[in-house]
Amino acid sequence: MDNEKKRGNYVFYISLFFVIFIVAWGIFFSNSFTKLVNNIFRFLTNRFGWLYLIAMFSFVLFAIYLAFSKYGNIKLGPDNSEPEFSNLSWFGMLFGAGMGIGLVFWGVAEPLSHFANPPLGIEPGSTNAMSFSMKSSFMHWGIHPWANYSVIGLALAYMQFRKERPGLISSIFIPLIGEERAKGALGKFIDISAVFATVAGVATSLGLGTLQINSGLDYLFGIPVNIFVQIIIISVITLIFIWTAVSGIEKGIKILGDLNLVLATILLVLVILLGPTLKIVNMFISSLGNYLQYFIEDSLSINAFEDNTWLNTWRIFYWSWWIAWAPFVGTFIARISKGRTIREFIIGVTLVPALVSLVWFAAFGTMGLNYGRNIDLTQLRDIVSTPSIALFEVFKHYPLTSILSIITIFLLCTFFITSANSATFVLSMLTSNGNLNPSNKKKVLWGLIQSLLAIALLLSGGLAALQTASIVAAFPFIFIMIFSIVSIIKSLREEKTDKV
């Protein structure tokens, strides 16, 4: 037990030191930090864009294969285990942790961005640009990111609940490298990488969420957009998410997940009813058809001789960002999925949230495009240059503007809290040797670190740089996830063989 505790402390202290070092560099030497991470990111996207495309497509194929394979009925836990949470509560928690705040932030802003600034060969503001904008949004927020989450989530849930191993990313590799090596230097490196990717990714999202909440409060109540207001927003929400994290999954996090579902459903229904309803329905059907028709082509599309600027800026950036989030979201999804079958897990984690995301983008994207096609292209580009205000700007031109905006701000706050407390729980697990019920002391500490980090980055203007840094740091996770597929298949085959 002492060795296990010492191992957890190693991961904790090294991770903490590494995070503080990177953040201090980003704050006090922001120019050199930004230049370095941008150069590395450009190198990775230019040289290895093909690898991101192949990796993400392989995750989709793996998820489909596993769901319909002979392994689909294997439970993530003992054969007699049952799910801890209802389907709705389970879905609410995994959806809120996975991308909830991103849907609100980008639901209007991304389709409008592609509409105003499509790749070369497509006329900005044209019908083709409109069709392209929705197909691309569907691709970025559809099956791919959730299949990516399912790889780590499934492998970890299988190892920790069925094989009774610690809830650590390194545990996934026990079937490949053995338990001793998984506990050694290689395992520690994997777990420390997961901690950094989680801290950097969530702190960046907290900063972006704060900016959008501030924009909404400015629009509704004239509260100024400045760092003082943003610090107050983060401070208040920090108190709430640390309290819910300390309350545990069964109480605080589950209740918030349920609340997210209710608020998101209300907002989505209102947008469909108050917006251009028929256009939304037609756009969903048309975009779904385009998405499915070109699914394989778009999954692997990269220019050999022509410019890949748009691809690197959007698709490769998204794929690398989802991979950066995989350790955090995968670990949290694994923690709440005990007792479900592999088939149930894959369908619940991949297909259901992907479909909801597509409906969301069809509703909000069509509302935004319906407004964007009737204004000057220069004005449209001004709006999309500041994504945090795009949604509120579009709401101005539809009925019940204030009600829509108020619900949006509440939803941003609840998604904000859900992501933060989920991350707090995961960070505490990863730095407590995979303890499924880590100490409140660690939860409070990691909660404060995330919030202080977000504030520091807002003060220094380093949010974008840290986001890029987390993506750069997550590059090794491409290989970690590919080998995790090999590991889980090996373990499943051995289990089936043992039962014959």
Residue 6, pLDDT score: 53
Residue 500, pLDDT score: 43
Residue 1, pLDDT score: 44
Rounded to 10 degrees, the C-alpha dihedral 96/97/100/105 comes to: 150
Question: Residues 138-180: pLDDT tens digits?
Answer: 999 999 999 999 999 999 999 989 988 888 888 898 888 888 8
Q: CB 49: neighbour CB atoms within 10 A?
A: 19
The DSSP result for 382-439, as a single string, is HHHTSHHHHHHHHHTTSSSHHHHHHHHHHHHHHHHHHHHHHHHHHHHHHTTTT-SS--
Per-domain residue ranges for the chain? Answer: 2-499
| Whether 77 contacts 161, CB under 8 Å | yes
Sites in the chain below the pLDDT cut of 70: 1-8, 96-100, 248-253, 461-463, 466, 496-500
* Greatest Cα-to-Cα distance within the chain, rounded to the nearest angstrom: 69
| Whether 214 contacts 230, CB under 8 Å | yes
Q: Which residues fall within 8 angstroms of residue 419, CB to CB, at 6 or more apart?
A: 96, 97, 100, 101, 202, 205, 206, 209
Residue 321, pLDDT score: 85
Question: Residues 421-450: pLDDT tens digits?
Answer: 778 888 888 888 878 778 888 888 888 888
Q: Where in 209-362 does DSSP place strands (E)?
A: none
| Phi, psi (degrees; rounded to nearest 5) at 308 | -115, 25
Fold for 2-499, please state it.
Amino acid/polyamine transporter I (1.20.1740)
